Amino acid sequence: MISQQLRMLRTQRGMSLRSLAAETGVSATLLSQIERDVTEPSLATLRRLAEFFGEPVSSLFDDQHSPPVWVSRPGARSTITGPRGKLRYERLTPSNGQMEVLRGILGPGETTADELWAHSSLECAVVVKGTLTVDLGTDSHLVGAGEAITFDARQAHRYRNDSDSPVEFLVSVTPPNP
């Protein structure tokens, strides 16, 4: 669980919630709520914490002892909330540091981030339902249901839903990024 991993990383470094808050810009109140499983952190918060600890985001999930076979079931998956809390990703794969597959649902008019973001990975998005707009640098690509787009994620990018209905998509990232 994120709460346990965060607490472990923080205490291993001998840090209080206040000192971690001062270093990361994440409030001590929010950090406490995350560690107590009161709230789920946003993807931006996870990225900020993982970057501070020098770890990939996947390390914040307690899958260190995952079995050789992983079955992902609805309702039992860990989730990541995107910026502004309007996008929720479900983790479909265990955290093994090699690959991450996420299921996302993006509401009408929503984006995964206010600004384009880049990281050192290969990324593939498969649209399950609806039409997804993928911004890559100055170019935009429309990807419809049943279609996929694969790109070098070192290109600044984000996903948008310019339609009037939700878009469901799967994202595979290898290696997982912070």
How distant, in Å, are the alpha carbons of 16, 145, 163 from that of 115?
31, 25, 19
Residues 113, 153: contact at Cβ < 8 Å?
no
pTM: 0.65
Structural domains of the chain sorted by starting position, each given as residue range(s) with its CATH number in brackets: 2-60 (1.10.260.40), 79-174 (2.60.120.10)
CA atoms within 13 A on the CB side of 36: 8
21-to-16, 18, 159 alpha-carbon distances in Å: 8, 5, 29
Q: What is the pLDDT of residues 81-135, one digit of tens each?
A: 665 556 778 888 876 667 789 999 999 999 988 888 888 889 999 999 999 999 9
